Structure 1
Amino acid sequence: MKRNIYKIMGAIMLFAIAQPSCKKDFQQINTNPNTSPTALPQQLLAPALVNTMTANMLKARTFSNELVQITVAETDGEGAVFRYDIRPNQADYMWNNLYQQLSNFKDVYSTAADPLVANKGYQGISLICQAWVYSILTDTYGDIPYFQSNMGRDGIFEPAFDKQKDIYLDIFKQLENANTLLNGAPNVVAASDPVYAGNCAQWRKFGNSLYLRLLLRLSGKAEVANDVIAKIHDIVDVNKANYPIMTSNTDAAVLRWTGVGYLTSPFINGVREQDWRAPALSSFFINNLTKWQDPRLYTLFNGAPGGVWSIAPSSGNFVGVPSGYAAGTAPTTKSYFYSTANGPGGKSYESEPLGGNIMNYGELQFILAEASLKGYITTGIPKTYYDAGVQNAITFWLPTYFTAPITVASYETAADITWNDALSLDDKMEIIHVQKYYTLFWTDFQEWFENRRTGHPVLPKGPGVLNNKIMPARLNYPVYVQSANPANYTAAVANQGPDVISTQVWWQKP
């Protein structure tokens, strides 16, 4: 009977994954349902973007932020993520929510491709969003349903799991297609797009920048490295006129939380005030910022310290706690993220407009710095990209910070983070990825993915860390999938390896 219940629950979830979801307060972009039998792409895009960002931000707070030592939950109980003790039920949230939004993004494409609509802008945007969401899913779980996913309406309730290699190669095809579709495409309805207000040229730049992010992720995988590196070279050096990428923070892909209607940050109603104070900031995260006198930490609001990241000081200082401390030795929480109730002047990360970061220009510069360092591209030099990454990572949050007499060079010198060509390749990778770590602040699970890919930045491993002190390589599949889709689940495990957090995904394996 228990097995049958799981099957029923799984079937319901798989069907739900195939259906569009919505969020309140979208009236201003919705048309009267009595006038159209099907939803239009401009009705579907904003809800899908908002709900995807909601899932990414809420789960990053409790999961990836703990893994990469931004926060420390300070508990000796079971399931402490910062100890790499991850319960199986951690897997459900992202799987369920992201697959659900893929139905909406796919519907944006299918409705926009209808001859009666024929809107290349929405088609291209949809393909970029699908690539973005599928990449998060496969980098989190490994082999996943891809080619048959979200086909419940077509009667496919037990989709096959596809190999990560095949998923990535098809994602690249979709991004190529998106680049073609968006080339010269008219802008879409501004009110339907909370990221770029309908600007298809900026979506195209984001799509190609995302392409570079994902290409670099596979660049160390021997069986595809030559093709991947050649494509990076093509985009940046050879054929760059046909692959426009971000050129400034103006092009950053950010769902800006205005605080009005549906554009209210999910943290406002999704996280209690006491839950903001409960996790401490980690020593690794705080100590670097303090050492650098980083403006993201020290900018003043209404005369009170906290910076744009709204971090509470302790007795006038910013103090973190060591992640992975031994059980039974929990230190006292010092610094933490302000909530609206206790932040200076009502300022808090809870209501931060830039909290919906998808990909920013600083990240792209560090991607190019690594590509240049490793000889994948010939345009520019590592130092130039590195300096631009440092500068734009800060001006993303503080647009006017680098003015005379403060320059990026003077900031780097004072912080002792200047580029040094005499260092080893590994040391240069550490310099790039320490800065990239802060650039990826609260960008879904990207810090976790990059740490798994490169081993950088080197995070201290405390005595209380489990899993042989090895960073978890993936999340397990949701438990209900074992009963709802048993044959395909079994095949996926046989191909990838045991369904545990230590099994590496394809691109991590030698």
Structure 2
Amino acid sequence: MLKKLAYITLFAVALTSCSDTLDDINKNPNATETPLAPYLLTGTLKQGADLYWGSTNNFDSSLLFAQHWAKIQYTEPDRYDVSNTSFTTLWNTGYATLITDLNTILNFPEQQANSNYKGIALTLRSWTFLLLTDAYGSIPYKEAGLKVTPAYNTQKEVYTGLLEDLKQAQSLLSPSKGTVTGDLVYKGDVLKWKKLVNSLRLRIALRIADREPALAKQAAIEATTDAGGLIGSNSETFQFIYTSSPQQNPASAWFETRDDYRISKTMVDKLYELSDPRLPVYAQLPSDASVGKYVGGGNGLSNSDANSQGFAKTSKPGTYFLTSASPAVIFSYAEVLFNLSEAVARGYIAGDAEQLYKNAITASLNQFGITNATVISSYLNQPTVKYDAANYAKSIGTQKWIAFFGQGLDAFAEWRRLDYPVLTAGPATVLDGKIPSRFFYPGTEQSLNGSSYQAAIAVQGKDLLTTKLWFDVK
């Protein structure tokens, strides 16, 4: 009996020892036991910039839809011949990486993340949700990160919820509420974050303007009268500054090994039409010196027709966008001024819509290194550029489209909202002459969150590229 008890005791000890050993083996020696807010913030800013400026959501989709760029080979995305696997990166990275990490900061106790970290996290989370709803429409919002199969909220619910989230973010941010490290954009300057918050509120106010004008006006007034102010100069533009490989601009990394994009003919033709001084910034001269002028690539061409334009006879996007350290601009001063101009034109706030429009164009020209006052004045005084008070959407929409060059997701959103410039689908596109109005939901939503997905499309409309979203009323 004693011998039997000894065996049982020895077996139990062995099991315990084995379990302890397995626990040790399963630990990642490079991982911190407790994630730190500065590291999560740094990672979110870098991954967010990569997501916004990277291939899948930018130059392989939204930049093509908005006809900023065009494909000269492998033209399927430019012909909209894509599937629901084509748009998974924005969804997966947005939810599984950005929102997850930002929620971690928001859930930290005060000793791990002060109020300013949480205000910044809530701001960045709001920006991420805004990208998602602008692209897909209805999305998991209120239950995101709380349930395995979260319900979708309508686009109206998301926009109005984000306005409230940004109010809360504003209340959390104060220079007196602790220092912030790990901030690669504003270097812990909480006052600049407060300006970004209000700028995002104004952006959302205009997103909902055609559907909820009373709420849009209220939101615009609150955003523009808040003591925190708005982004007020190009030095306050919200942008991620890249360095050298491997921390380089995603477009730069792409063009090091690939050559399948050109600046769109639509953009080049418009810039020539307006004698726009941004043309040599936005485009490179073709490598065939005999061409001697900028030549854009046609959108929506077959592979053979795209190839036949000539790799050496067409213009790549400008080197400004293709160097390792090219910035990922996410919210520019020019956009703030365009938004203020529109808010005045709609009667939401007081001001001079025409002067704000001119200031917005000037800010964009300055952003791209064009500072000569004579050049700027000459450009602004052209009849084709002058502000048209009778059709502010055309004036602002066209110039905003130009100013957004490279910012595909927002250029695509604003083109759908303002309907200018008038774009035409290419000859080999597959949507019966239509340009996409949204992204497909990822196929995994159908298989892993099927009930919520089905409920969403029952309200929003079929999961098609041509289904118009709530904010896109025309």
- State the TM-score, normalized to the length of structure 2: 0.85
What is the one-letter code of the residue matched to 1:226? A
What residue number does 2:7 align with? none
What residue number does 1:107 align with? 104
- Structure 1 residue corresponding to 2:172, chosen from 181, 189, 192: 181
Query: 2:292 aligned with 1:316, yes or no?
Result: yes
| Count of residue pairs the alignment pairs up | 437
What residue number does 1:121 align with? 116
Identify unmatched segments of 5+ residues in structure 1: 1-31, 299-306
Shift of 1:243: 4.3
Q: Distance in 1 between matches of 2:101 and 2:303?
A: 44
Q: Deviations over 1:100-145 (max 9, x none)?
A: 221111112222xx13245111111111100100011111111111
What is the one-letter code of the residue matched to 1:447? A
Q: Distance in 2 between matches of 1:354 and 1:385?
A: 27
What residue number does 1:228 align with? 216
What is the one-letter code of the residue matched to 1:120? S
Q: Structure 1 residues 310, 458: closer, same or farther in 2, change over 3 A?
A: closer
What percentage of aligned pairs have identical amino acids? 26
Q: Structure 1 residues 33, 483: closer, same or farther in 2, change over 3 A?
A: closer
Shift of 1:249: 0.8
Q: Distance in 2 between matches of 1:180 and 1:387?
A: 33
Shift of 1:297: 2.9
Q: Distance in 2 between matches of 1:246 and 1:76?
A: 39
- Structure 1 residue corresponding to 2:340, chosen from 368, 391, 412: 368
Q: Distance in 2 between matches of 1:37 and 1:465?
A: 51
Query: 2:315 aligned with 1:351, yes or no?
Result: no
Query: 2:47 aligned with 1:71, yes or no?
Result: no
Query: 2:463 aligned with 1:492, yes or no?
Result: no
Shift of 1:87: 2.0
Does the CA-based 8 Å contact 1:105-1:130 persist in structure 2?
A: yes
Query: 2:371 aligned with 1:402, yes or no?
Result: yes
Q: Structure 1 residues 122, 115: closer, same or farther in 2, change over 3 A?
A: closer
Does the CA-based 8 Å contact 2:79-2:430 persist in structure 1?
A: yes
What residue number does 1:207 align with? 197
Does the CA-based 8 Å contact 2:63-2:408 persist in structure 1?
A: no
What residue number does 2:268 align with? 286
- Structure 2 residue corresponding to 1:273, chosen from 256, 268, 273: 256
The 10-residue stretch of structure 1 (289-298 or 198-207) with the greater mean CA deviation from structure 2: 289-298
What residue number does 2:41 align with? 45
Q: Structure 1 residues 282, 260: closer, same or farther in 2, change over 3 A?
A: closer
What residue number does 1:332 align with? 309
Q: Deviations over 1:372-406 (max 9, x none)?
A: 1222211x2111111111100011121xx3345x2
What is the one-letter code of the residue matched to 2:284? I
Q: Distance in 2 between matches of 1:241 and 1:487?
A: 41
- State the TM-score, normalized to the length of structure 1: 0.79
Q: Distance in 2 between matches of 1:454 and 1:85?
A: 25
Query: 2:402 aligned with 1:431, yes or no?
Result: no
Q: Distance in 2 between matches of 1:312 and 1:278?
A: 16
Q: Structure 1 residues 200, 388: closer, same or farther in 2, change over 3 A?
A: same
Shift of 1:296: 2.9
Q: Distance in 2 between matches of 1:260 and 1:200?
A: 29
Shift of 1:354: 4.3
What residue number does 2:380 align with? 412
Q: Distance in 2 between matches of 1:106 and 1:337?
A: 40
Query: 2:186 aligned with 1:196, yes or no?
Result: yes
What is the one-letter code of the residue matched to 1:206? L
Query: 2:148 aligned with 1:157, yes or no?
Result: yes
What residue number does 1:168 align with? 159
Q: Deviations over 1:457-478 (max 9, x none)?
A: 1113343333232221211211
Query: 2:129 aligned with 1:134, yes or no?
Result: yes
What residue number does 1:246 align with? 231
